[in-house]
Structure 1
Amino acid sequence: MAAKPELQEQINRLPHQPGVYRYFDDEGIIYVGKAVDLRKRVSSYFTKQDHNKKTQQLVKNIKRIEFTIVNSESDAFLLENNLIKQHQPKYNILLKDGKTYPYLLLTKERFPRLIPTRNKQPGDGQYFGPYANQSGLNVLLELIRALYPLRTCTYNLSPENVEAGKFKVCLEYHIGNCKGPCENKEDEATYNQYIQQIRQILNGDLRLPKQYFRERMTAAAQEMQYELAHQFKQKLDKLDEFQAKSTIVNASLTNIDVFSIASNEKAAFVNYFKVMNGSIILTQNLELTKKLDESDGEILAPLIMQLRQEYESEAKEILTNVPVGDLPLPGVTVTQPQIGDKRKLLELSIKNVLYLRKEKESMNEKGKDVNEVRIMEQIKKDLRLKELPKHIECFDNSNFQGDNPVSAMVCFRNARPSKKDYRHYHVKTVVGPNDFDTMYEVITRRYRRLVDEGASLPQLVIVDGGKGQLSMAVKALKDLNLWGQIPVIGIAKRLEEIYVPNDPLPLYIDKKSESLRLFQRMRDEVHRFGITFHRKTRDDATLKTELTDVKGLGPVTADKLLSKFKSVKKIKELTEAQLVAEVGKAKAKVLLNYFDQQETPTS
């Protein structure tokens, strides 16, 4: 595709030097690239004939070209990476994560605490991580808390505060999870030994903690303190169990990053291993949508930079399965090992990334097979409908001992939830727990409204219930002169039984049928939707008491007082000091003023 004259002029002015080029359309930057030779690289977009459709579309949209000369290919890499992050061009591959990763913080204070956090604040202490997911962090945190009696309170345990007796031990002390440093029951030197071992564990080295517990176990056994020895043995077993679950590669392989990539026409899949002290301490899988005809090396190179930055890796060696060029990482070697333990480690990463690609491709194929049209065709066949049920509505009633009756309707379009069409109903004409009359009211209200608005009617209506609810739905449709226009069925509680009008015997649909699966999904959805609404309605009614009329007192405070004292009468009997203790000075004053203004005296 030849360049337009105005673009060709710009290309002719490009130097034969390394740099970064930027393509613009009428709205802004659409692509950023780097090149060893700017003129040759940019020219290739307009002279090569074998571009894929996406690249051809990019070239069609280019209206203007800008460039920046740099000193080296390494500098071009850095500048390209920064510009892509800043402008997020349409045709560049972007790793849009957006999430904050969890860390473990060992606080900088006397008797340090170990706490999970997603907010990294310099000066708070030593951070470990980040971790790829919360579950991995939780496993590590549970292990450490099982091994060491760390405090969890936020007290300022300065020597002066502890000596002054400002604090009291809490439940954690009484159940054995903490040794009570707040009351000077814990030796600081021993506690700091724990912290030293915890640092080792968080750095992936279990040798010092295992040695510590092994020595304590042996010493306790020699002194015939067998119960204590058993406790140390249990902690040693926990460390062995944790280490057994870790992927051990080779003790000689320390501080290595491993990256592998596999791709197809549409997407690229990347696996990342972080190896420390012979074990894989972190693994991450990524899927990225391809934008142009990028090679695996072009995709992987910026990802290596970004993942190392996000996971704060300082590894001096990187293993990859494809060449990635010269990365701007001074002192770091990048290799594609062919033999030995490093090759085995790389092959493990490749095995993971190939499995990820296969799994995603399989899911996509299944998604193509299980399509909405086939499901609707199956429903039409099972229920002997005249037309395809593209629009289905399902109803359910909810009440608690006859109080606060409500109803709910969920709508599925093309066999998928259409949540904007979901509806709640407060029952208006029915007194007491009467599902039949409730169903009649709600069906009447729903379809009278659709008729009045001239809206399209569903091709199938489902009511949650047996013959009774179904007969009331039929009656409502007949009274609206809609009978015969909308097919309606009832679902019995076991879900295998489908009731149709004018047939005393239920219709049994194959349990494996996609029709029944969709009906079950709709029933579960309407039940969830209705129960949520009913709970809110019931809670609102429960909170409506004399206290909710008090200006300046919110429902949370009212609920708190009623939960504890059970009645307004008992709340009125509280002294000012008791009220202050419960709700604070400001709200206590509001309540006392309100009670003083009431005509009925307190007793």
Structure 2
Amino acid sequence: MKQATPAFDGKAFARTLSTAPGVYRMISADDKALYVGKASALRSRVSSYFNATPKSARIMSMLAQTARMEVTVTRTETEALILENELIKSLRPRYNVLLRDDKSYPYVLLTNEEWPRIAMHRGPRSVPGRYFGPYASVGAVRDTLNLVHKLFKLRSCEDSVFANRTRPCLQYQIGRCSGPCVGLVDADAYAESVRRAVLMLEGRSDELTDEVGRAMEAASARLAFEEAARLRDLLGSIRTLQARQYVDGRAADLDVLAVAMQGSAACVMLLAFRDGRNLGTRSFFPRTNGSESAEEVLAAFVSQYYGEHLPPGEIVLDRDIPDRELIEAALSHAGDRRVQLRWNVRGDRAGYLGLARRNAQITLASERTSHAAQLARAQDLQTMLGMDELPERIECFDISHTMGEAAVASCVVFDAEGPVRGQYRRFNIAGIEPGDDYAAMHQALSRRFKRAIAAQGKPAGVLPDILLLDGGAGQVAQARAVLDELDIHSVVLVGVAKGPARRPGDEDLLLPDGRTLHPGADSPALQLVQQVRDEAHRFAITGHRGRRQKARSSSRLEDIPGIGPRRRGNLLRHFGGLGGLKAAGVEEISRVEGINAALAERIYASLHGLEEAGGAPDDGTRSNG
């Protein structure tokens, strides 16, 4: 059999390597990473791939595709583990176990500002600050925030509210905020509260109680009795929390991990306790890339997950894993405290492991059933549309607006496993006649597919197998025109139109050749189309509402000539916001620093629709909208 590339001589390559620790990479003929691994001794680890010992089918397939290997020598095994995790995240090798991201889980966010704000966060971690979590549920996040507000009185308000307060809000009145917005706490004291809150969020409550106790004694020694009393109350609250933990019999800082596998499908279940509070379970479905070893999957999960999240002091595993001591040392070094990986446990921890195992098995079975149903729907859609291959990528476009205002087009993406939310896109529509849905669809599709043509060979250049359009023949015609203009002929177009009864399940599917299909409510293919169409509709409406609200809530002061940032700030501070300003008369507006009578009249007229900003008065009949 003829080989496309010369065979890689692994034995000869391994003889050139040192016995130092490091990381090795297997590379294919097209320069793509196949596998990244770590080694305590590079020569012996790489040699093991090319000896006479029988290998699994997965390893044999990987070796058959290896055209060359690269190595990086490190000083220690710990450095090798860290580098391995970084390379796995950046290269996404085909044969490594890969942990999918968990952006859908909620976090506690502590912003990186002069006066940090603490709040719940979900989605991409784009806001500068520290993220604690992820948590199992929104309820767990709210419980944590409630505790932080009671103990440390950190602000939760948005920056726009914080910057324009003239008196403390209700949160200050009920003792859940220290009032930094109006200067009721100095910067050093607030920063100290932030630092102590971080200790609690990191699960270091023992360290926190020791520190607060010492601070209380120091305040008492220098006769600062009010400060000592405040610290005494804080210490009592923390110790009450700890006492409740020990009564409940739970460890203060603990993660429990169990893995379930069916073939090469895996589910890792995480049961988390922080400061004695049960944060619930979270399920992860790593891409095993053919691996059927539960130990290998669990080891990869521990390395990758805790490479991005601060590990607790103790992690209980449902089985021993390869390189346990090495991973334990690396996590301890990264977290700057001792981290224990334990697997042979008794008592309460054994009970937690049993709970995690059962949840992992049930969740994996449910996921497998759901995946099988998704596959059956995709196969039925393939048959109905007469496609030669199973559709691997489906995109759906929808338009949302309110009487032409703030039009937004959505694009959602589904693959064989369901929605791919990281590839969703929204398009703000501009430069068309308000309410012209055909022009809006044409603009959105042109922008999407022109970008794909320009990005050929990159992820953004991937084309869908099926393009769904929420609309009838007119929308299909717009899509056909765009694709013909760009010389794209591999995409199957389908318009999704409401049937005569306009009931779910009564939809008609319109094809570019003029055919109309009416699959009926029991059709698995239509159920998949409905799922994708409804997700596009939801995503479009969410984007439209956000754009409309932003337009309506933005300060119209920005459009008035003569109003710069300083005068705008003076006006909003004086009246407590745009609502107070709109309720004021011309004379009251003119009393604000920097605002003369003529400018006050212009402001009043603009806010009440009596003239165009900076222009001549109209007849008084123009709508405020």
TM range, normalised to the smaller chain? 0.5 to 0.7
Distance 1:183 1:42 in 2: 63
The AA in structure 2 aligned to 1:79 is A
Distance 1:360 1:203 in 2: 32
Any idea what the Cα deviations from partners look like across 1:96-148, whole Å, max 9, x if unmatched?
538598346599999x9865677999xx9xx8943436723223224665x67
Structure 2 counterparts to residues 206-355 of structure 1, below 5 A:
250-251=249-250, 253-275=251-273, 280-281=278-279, 283-291=281-289, 293=291, 295-315=293-313, 318-328=316-326, 329=328, 333-337=340-344, 339-355=346-362
Distance 1:495 1:15 in 2: 66
Distance 1:440 1:497 in 2: 14
> 3-state SS of the aligned residue for 2:325?
coil
Confirm or deny: 8 A CA contact 2:8 2:68 kept in the other structure.
no
Confirm or deny: 8 A CA contact 1:18 1:76 kept in the other structure.
yes
Distance 1:276 1:440 in 2: 53
TM-score (norm 2): 0.52
| Residue 8 in structure 1 maps to residue 11 in structure 2 | yes
- The worse-fitting range, judged by mean Cα deviation, of 573-582 and 281-290 is 573-582
Number of residue-to-residue matches in the alignment: 484
Quick one: structure 1 residues 55 and 171, their matched pair in 2 at CA, closer, same or farther if it must change by over 3 Å? same
Quick one: structure 1 residues 65 and 459, their matched pair in 2 at CA, closer, same or farther if it must change by over 3 Å? closer
Corresponding residue for 2:390?
none
The AA in structure 1 aligned to 2:293 is S
Confirm or deny: 8 A CA contact 1:102 1:133 kept in the other structure.
no
Confirm or deny: 8 A CA contact 2:395 2:412 kept in the other structure.
yes
Confirm or deny: 8 A CA contact 2:21 2:80 kept in the other structure.
no
Match of 1:492 among 493, 498, 501: 501
Quick one: structure 1 residues 324 and 595, their matched pair in 2 at CA, closer, same or farther if it must change by over 3 Å? closer
The AA in structure 2 aligned to 1:351 is R
Match of 1:130 among 111, 128, 133: 133
Greater Rg over alpha carbons, structure: 1
Quick one: structure 1 residues 175 and 426, their matched pair in 2 at CA, closer, same or farther if it must change by over 3 Å? same
Any idea what the Cα deviations from partners look like across 1:513-566, whole Å, max 9, x if unmatched?
5577578668867977998999999999999xx999978999xx9xx9999899
- The worse-fitting range, judged by mean Cα deviation, of 523-532 and 127-136 is 523-532
Question: Displacement of 1:199 after TM fit?
Answer: 7.9
Confirm or deny: 8 A CA contact 1:258 1:346 kept in the other structure.
yes
Corresponding residue for 2:77?
76
Distance 2:261 2:57 in 1: 18
Unaligned runs of 5+ in 1: 155-165, 209-235, 381-390, 430-438, 465-489, 501-506
Confirm or deny: 8 A CA contact 1:393 1:461 kept in the other structure.
no
Corresponding residue for 2:214?
none
The AA in structure 1 aligned to 2:99 is L
Question: Displacement of 1:82 after TM fit?
Answer: 1.3
The AA in structure 1 aligned to 2:298 is L
Quick one: structure 1 residues 107 and 288, their matched pair in 2 at CA, closer, same or farther if it must change by over 3 Å? closer
TM-score (norm 1): 0.53
Any idea what the Cα deviations from partners look like across 1:146-193, whole Å, max 9, x if unmatched?
x67946389xxxxxxxxxxx97444445678669796989xxx9xx99
Question: Displacement of 1:79 after TM fit?
Answer: 0.8
The AA in structure 2 aligned to 1:137 is V
Confirm or deny: 8 A CA contact 1:393 1:462 kept in the other structure.
no
Any idea what the Cα deviations from partners look like across 1:301-329, whole Å, max 9, x if unmatched?
35334444544235156444234344233
Corresponding residue for 2:335?
none
Confirm or deny: 8 A CA contact 2:377 2:528 kept in the other structure.
no
Match of 1:59 among 43, 63, 80: 63
Confirm or deny: 8 A CA contact 2:272 2:278 kept in the other structure.
yes
Quick one: structure 1 residues 532 and 564, their matched pair in 2 at CA, closer, same or farther if it must change by over 3 Å? farther
Confirm or deny: 8 A CA contact 2:259 2:266 kept in the other structure.
yes
Any idea what the Cα deviations from partners look like across 1:17-51, whole Å, max 9, x if unmatched?
76654434453764333446655543342345754
Confirm or deny: 8 A CA contact 1:20 1:34 kept in the other structure.
yes
The AA in structure 2 aligned to 1:340 is G
Question: Displacement of 1:362 after TM fit?
Answer: 1.7
Unaligned runs of 5+ in 2: 158-164, 210-236, 330-337, 387-393, 437-470, 510-516, 621-625
Q: Percent identity?
A: 21
Question: Displacement of 1:351 after TM fit?
Answer: 1.9
Any idea what the Cα deviations from partners look like across 1:392-426, whole Å, max 9, x if unmatched?
999999885xx889999999999999999x99985
Confirm or deny: 8 A CA contact 1:285 1:353 kept in the other structure.
yes
Structure 2 counterparts to residues 568-579 of structure 1, below 5 A:
575=590, 577=592
Distance 2:309 2:414 in 1: 43
Distance 1:115 1:392 in 2: 34
Corresponding residue for 1:102?
107
* Aligned residues: CA RMSD: 7.2
Any idea what the Cα deviations from partners look like across 1:45-100, whole Å, max 9, x if unmatched?
234575444423321333334556779xxx43541441441464423334353859
Distance 2:263 2:174 in 1: 58
Confirm or deny: 8 A CA contact 1:23 1:65 kept in the other structure.
yes
